[in-house]
Every structure is written in structure tokens, then in C-alpha cells.
Amino acid sequence: MALIKNPLSGGGGGGGSISVVNGIIEQYKASSGTIDANTFVEFVNSEAPGVGEDTKLSDTTYGGDMISAVSLGNNKVLVVHNGDGRYDSSHVYGVVVTISGVTITYGTDTQICQNYNDNYGYNRLSAILVSQNKVFIAHPRDYLSTAALYGIVVTISGDIITVGTDSQLSTSQNGGTDVVSASLVSENKIFIAHNIGRDISYSDSKLAGIVIIVSGTTINIASSDTQLSRTYFAGGGVSATLVDAGKVFVGHNGSSSADSPGAICYGVIASISGTNTITAGADTQLMITGRTYHNFYTAVTLTNGNVFLVSTGGGNTNAGYLVASVASTTITVENSAQLSTYSWGETSAGAVVLPSGVDVFVSHRAADGILSAVVVTIEGSTVTIGNDTPISSIAYSGSGSSPVVVGNNIFVAHTATGNYLYGIVSDLSQIYRVRPATSAPKMLGLTAGSLTDTTAGDVWVLNTNGSE
């Protein structure tokens, strides 16, 4: 009996699992039962992932209500988060985290600016790396009728954070009350999606976008605040991701009717021209189920330009995903389905594209509020979901999360018990789904219960006709 590396199409599953450590498959564990010849066997790691110590990064109260983590390079991550309270007393904080293997060290948690945000658990902070040591942070400030979109640039030197001037970016009524998502368009040009009008629970909430240019720590508003959607309840759970030069996909809540009980997922392409004029394509309904006021979307762009979007929501709804392709300003849904039966609550999932360009690491709130992670592989319109695995044992650890790739590991900033900010590093290879090999199929022997000459990402087929 031998295992051959052979990504044959079709066929059902089989038994067995493997452990993948540092890219080498160390052992094959056959489960009970039989596997037919040439059965397509997906070996998905079923071992508990290797994770470091879940580390409390901040002592500020409500420090984990809103989180956005951004890689600084050199194994450093800036985690921007809420702190000091909710409603009219919260502020924006930041802490620099250094990762060595799965070990975390961190600097001083630093107040970046006053925020006065009016709620919690929503994706209301968005940090973007502008240059090697400069990070732009979009955030809402004040609440209710005086709410507005603000932005600030911080400079990182080692673990020290130096703050620029907090600048008002939108004068639209209630601009930026609920959600903010920023995407780097080019070099120092940033597109920010946010909502204007009223709270996302109200039918007159609309999705808007604005372009700013960062020069040093100075922020210049480069476009008018442009309404992107005519749907009702629009703007909740917004997530923006660059899909092509000057084109940003914005996933958001919306509804065709002001009388509708809630909203569902829509998407729109915002095109930013050289003169910094924003034009919107047709706002496209992307999902037809999961209607609540508090859905949250996390969208990322794959190497092929397609968008992978994770939907989580209020009302204990299940998590879902969709894959969408973009041609010019037209969005086409290629695939959509349920992602997890456990992701619920008014909290957004985190997602980051892995170096393969087709695998997405998704962190989310799972059973009992525990932070879990799953790797989803998207090849064309085919989506394969890996094992959904808890990566923290702390209560309420999955109430919000923001994952970042750091070398061969994933750092996940997340909320945990008491709404404090925590961070944890997971060994990427431990949760990496085994996916089809890109090289030609070849025979490999199974000797002494171990396999060599392979890498993480291979699919193996059990060949019961051969002895080697």
C-alpha cells in the first residue's frame, strides 16, 4: 500500500488524518474502516493547533471592544483598539506587539486620541499601514447627532507610538457613527467607507466613501464625501478591500425597502479616478438570507482579484461566506454557503489572506464565545473549508478579532473576558488545510509511519493497488 500525491478530481472522502509540522507530514494515522482504491482523500489536520500563550495586552477597560491590527514588518504588529469605556468615555489606544515564534512581547499601551464612540463590538476602527513606520487610523468620534468620521496618523519607532493630529474627515450628518473600513488605494491614498445619516438601525442610514491623502502625519481630504448606495439601512458592517487599481469593493448592509425588517449583504464597487472623484457601480444584493440590523462583513481580496467575504450577524445567525468576482464595476456572486454553525452574536469575524493567495484564515466567535479559526481555500469558484478549531480557551475570547500574518505564524488580536485586549500567536502550519499540490503527481513511499519529500498543501491519494 502506498500514498501517492495525486490531486484527482471527484470521489468521496476517506478516513485518516495527518499532522503537518513545519511543512513536513510526519505521520499518517489511518482511521477505522476501508478506503477504496483511488478514493480522493482529503487529509485535513485534526490535531489541536499549536498556539502560544494568550496574552493580555492592555489593562484599559473595554480595551477589546474594537480592534484593528496591522503588520509593521520585522515581526511587529500595531494593535489599535478601544479603551476606557463605552458611549461617551472611550478613546483610541494602540500597542506595539513583537512576535518571536509563538511568543509575544509588547510595549506600552498608548492613548492615541479621544474617540467618544457610542457602542461596542462593531468594526469601527480601521488601521492601514501607509509607510514602514506610519499607520493611518480611521475612527468615529462623538455619537448621535454630532458623530463624525475622524482620522489620525501615528508614527512607530520601536515600541514607541507618537501621535499626529486627529482630523475630522466628514461633515455629513452623523457621518461615521457606526462603521469604518479603510483601504489603501495607492501609496499614500486611502479610501474610507463609512455610514452617514443615522444609526444603522434606521432606514435613512446610507453608505458613503471618501478619499484622503496622507503626507507625513498630515491628512488631506482629497474627495467629497460620496454616497455609494441608495439602499436603506445601508452602511452597517461595512468592509472595504482593494480589488484592482483604483477600484475598491465595499461589502455592506442594505435593504431595498425602508419597511424591511433589517438588512442583508450588498456590495458595490467604488472607483477612484486620478482626480480623486469617487463613482459607484450598481449596488448589488449578494445574499438573500440572514436579514438583521447587525450583520458584519469582513472582505478580503484573493490573488486572482476575487473577493472572499465572511458574514456574521446578530440574532444568533450562522456565519456565511461568499466569493464574488469583479469585472469593471459589475459584481458577480460565484459561490456562497454557510461557513460555521457556531459563529453568532453582534461581533465581526477577522480574515486575512495567507501567502498562498487562495487560502484565507478566518477567526471568529464560536461555541461559548471562544475564539476559533478556520482556513478556507478558494480555488476558482470552489471553496473548501478546513477544520474549525478553537485557538483560545478564555471566555468570550471571540467577541472580536483581527488576524495578521507574521512570518510563518498568525497573530490574532482579540477580545477576551472582561472585554480586555488579548493577543495570541498560532503556528500557521498547524491549522493549514492540506490542499491540492501544484506539482505533477508522483509516487511516494510510506515507510515506518512517516512521509517525507512533501510540503504542507499537498493532497494525497491512497493507492491500494501498489505496494510502494
165 binds another protein (CB under 8 A): no
448 binds another protein (CB under 8 A): no
Among 332, 341, 447, 452, binds another protein (CB under 8 A): 332
In the three-class reduction of DSSP (H, G, I as helix; E, B as strand; rest coil), residue 223 is classed as: coil
For 98, the grid coordinates are: 513583537
337 binds another protein (CB under 8 A): no
18-57 in b/e burial notation, b at 16+ Cβ within 10 A?
bbbbeeebeebeeeeeebeebbbbbbbbeeebbbbebbbb
327 binds another protein (CB under 8 A): yes
Question: DSSP secondary-structure letter at 87?
Answer: G
Among 90, 126, 231, 253, binds another protein (CB under 8 A): 231
227 binds another protein (CB under 8 A): no
Q: How many residues bind another protein (CB under 8 A)?
A: 24
Among 245, 288, 440, 448, binds another protein (CB under 8 A): 288
Identify residues 246-265 at the interface with another protein (CB under 8 A). 256-257, 259-262
307 binds another protein (CB under 8 A): no
Among 285, 384, 387, 417, binds another protein (CB under 8 A): 285
151 binds another protein (CB under 8 A): no
d(CA 126, CA 352): 14
Give the residue with the Cβ less far from another protein, 325 or 392.
325
Q: How far is the CB of 264 from another protein (least distance, A)?
A: 9
Q: How far is the CB of 168 from another protein (least distance, A)?
A: 29
Give the residue with the Cβ less far from another protein, 164 or 267.
267
CB of 214 closer than 8 Å to CB of 153? yes
96 binds another protein (CB under 8 A): no
Give the residue with the Cβ less far from another protein, 60 or 295.
295
311 binds another protein (CB under 8 A): no
360 binds another protein (CB under 8 A): no
Give the residue with the Cβ less far from another protein, 78 or 326.
326
- Residue 108: φ, ψ to 5°: -85, 130
Q: How far is the CB of 298 from another protein (least distance, A)?
A: 21
Radius of gyration for the alpha carbons in the chain, expressed in angstroms and rounded = 22
Q: Which amino acid is at 355?
A: P
d(CA 243, CA 353): 13
Q: How far is the CB of 268 from another protein (least distance, A)?
A: 9
Segment lying near another protein (by CB under 8 A), choices 39-47, 88-96, 304-312, 323-331: 323-331
CB of 81 closer than 8 Å to CB of 67? yes
245 binds another protein (CB under 8 A): no
Contacts (Cβ under 8 Å, ≥6 apart) of 42: 13, 14, 384, 434, 459
Contacts (Cβ under 8 Å, ≥6 apart) of 337: 320, 321, 383
d(CA 348, CA 338): 15
Give the residue with the Cβ less far from another protein, 301 or 325.
325
Question: DSSP secondary-structure letter at 459?
Answer: -
280 binds another protein (CB under 8 A): yes
d(CA 249, CA 315): 26
d(CA 433, CA 456): 8
Q: How far is the CB of 220 from another protein (least distance, A)?
A: 29
Lateral strand order in the sheet of 264-272: 239-244, 247-254, 264-272, 278-280
**Residue ranges in contact with another protein by CB under 8 A:** 229-231, 256-257, 259-262, 266, 280-286, 288, 327-328, 330-333
